[in-house]
Amino acid sequence: MRYPTMREAMESGETLVFGHRGAMASAPMNTLASFQLAYKQGAAGIELDVHLSKDGHLIVLHDFTIDATTDGQGAAADFTLAELKRLDAGSWFSPAFVGEQIPTLDEVFELVGRKLLINIEIKSRSTESEAINHAVADSIRSHQMTDRAIVSSFDSRLLQRFIEICPEVMIGYLHSPSGAADLMDGLAHEARHPWHELIDDAYMSWAKGSGYFVNAWTVNDTQRACALKRLGVNGLITDSPAHIIDALESC
């Protein structure tokens, strides 16, 4: 365990590397194989996405549908966990990963929760937000991950409610060029997670002056990684942890 808590990691002065959906350049995204590979490549943490299955289980999957990363079709929320577990979530990437399953958040915590920091992006439709917020909070607490996780979302209303439900977990507000960066102003949260091209001296001056940690997504270019390190970004979310770690060590 490189860092016992997320806050200590963010305050370390090191530019942390988080594997985007694991090590998705080298393994099928959001699978246990991908998360384990991110650990082997030296990442400080991982970023992942969660949805609710039809029967209320937290599954780790990026899209709202299963079409792109499994041998099934349809909305993930229309399948039970047992049905989702029968799908192949690895062969689309490479024959070497045939049989990889869609994992649950609990399974990820059990595999790498004591090894890696975990950035949980909550995905939900507005009608699901209350249920998924409670499910994420319960899972984090049951695995004693309150100080090793950060919850993020593009949905400021979802995050507002999560803060009320689980105030002991750090919050990161995701935003993109097309999204409003001020929707969380006035609400207690610890981090901003901007698309990396939004970050410059002025952004960092504002963020640090406002007391926010800054974790950038998705950084795969080595020169950009070094530039963000010099700007004082706290974390870089990347598809290839090993590649970016090597770059940061030499810049």
**Which residue numbers are catalytic?**
20, 62
What b/e sequence results for 114-134 when a residue is b if at least 16 CB atoms lie within 10 Å of its CB, and e otherwise?
ebbbbbbbbbbeeebbeebbe
Spatial CB neighbours of 205, under 8 Å, sequence gap ≥ 6: none
Strand boundaries in the chain, DSSP class E: 16-20, 45-52, 58-60, 117-122, 149-153, 170-175, 191-194, 213-216, 235-238
User: Are residues 19 and 241 in contact, defined by beta-carbon separation less than 8 angstroms?
Assistant: yes
DSSP class of 62: S
Cite the beta strand spans of 28-96 per DSSP E.
45-52, 58-60
Q: Which amino acid type is present at position 226? A: C
| CA–CA gap between residue 170 and residue 213 (Å, rounded) | 11
**Distance, CA of 181 to chain centre:** 19
